[in-house]
A and B are shown apart, each in its own frame.
Chain A
Amino acid sequence: ETGVTQTPRHLVMGMTNKKSLKCEQHLGHNAMYWYKQSAKKPLELMFVYNFKEQTENNSVPSRFSPECPNSSHLFLHLHTLQPEDSALYLCASSQRQGASTDTQYFGPGTRLTVL
């Protein structure tokens, strides 16, 4: 248990569906992150929120829409996804973005399959 939870753990959706991934951290952190890990590829950073403000969007397609209503919760809204979006989506949190000793703690991930 890292103090970061993600729901659902598994999700299967069609290309026309709309779904949301949820992340919650119980560590009192102020920064939250979404990563994508496709099969046999390294983790790719998607979005960063620091004190509820989005500070990074790494050229992520608009069919992925993040939301951070408070420092403890992070959502990833999904719509009209493509099969190549099937991946493990990981959430992480840290005390605050960017400090050299700022350690990130990861959730267990959501395994997404797009049919």
Chain B
Amino acid sequence: DAKTTQPTSMDCAEGRAANLPCNHSTISGNEYVYWYRQIHSQGPQYIIHGLKNNETNEMASLIITEDRKSSTLILPHATLRDTAVYYCIVRGDYGQNFVFGPGTRLSVLP
């Protein structure tokens, strides 16, 4: 079973920041938070991952709360091409695989 909880769907206006929340209240100290997205009928695309500190790359920012029980993926200026299902995954030690839940369906509206 997925260890994360995400809203089923969200809307965001084009050009605005999209903030996608994820709850992972049972996360353990050595588990990372990963984000992927899947545009309709394509393979999932890696976005970003982090352990404790906030992370930023060319695609997005990842904000992890101090207690690590939740995180937020931020797309700073959403475009129509960011419309996709976004998956938040918690993964740790050797032997653990990625477990994909239903994710959040983000619709970026013109």
B102 touching A100 by the CB < 8 A rule?
no
Q: Which of under 10, 10 to 19, 20 to 34, or 35 or more describes the interface residues of B? A: 20 to 34
Can you name the residue of chain A whose Cβ is closest to the Cβ of B101?
A: A42
Docked complex Cα distance between A56 and B95 (Å):
10
Q: Please tell me if the beta carbons of A45 and B32 are within 8 angstroms of each other in the complex.
A: no
52-100 of chain A: CB within 8 A of chain B:
56, 88, 90, 92, 98-100
Q: Is B93 an interface residue (CB 8 A)?
A: yes
Is A105 positioned at the interface, with any CB of B under 8 Å from its CB?
yes
Bound CA–CA A105/B47 (angstroms): 10
> Nearest Cβ distance between residue B95 and chain A, in whole angstroms?
5
Complex interface: chain B residues within 8 A of A2 (CB): 43, 45-46
Please tell me which one of the listed residues B42, B43, B46, B91 contacts residue A100 in the complex, with CB atoms under 8 A apart: B91
User: Do A109 and B43 touch across chains, with their CB atoms under 8 A apart?
Assistant: yes
Contact of A103 (CB < 8 Å), options: B34, B100, B102: B34
* Given A90-B43, A109-B43, 9 further pairs, Cβ under 8 A: A42-B2, A45-B97, A56-B97, A98-B96, A100-B32, A101-B49, A103-B49, A106-B46, A109-B42
Interface residues of A (CB under 8 A from B): 2, 4, 6, 42-43, 45, 48, 56, 88, 90, 92, 98-101, 103-109, 111
A–B Cβ pairs within 8 angstroms, 10 of them: A2-B45, A56-B97, A98-B95, A100-B30, A103-B34, A104-B98, A105-B46, A106-B43, A106-B46, A108-B42
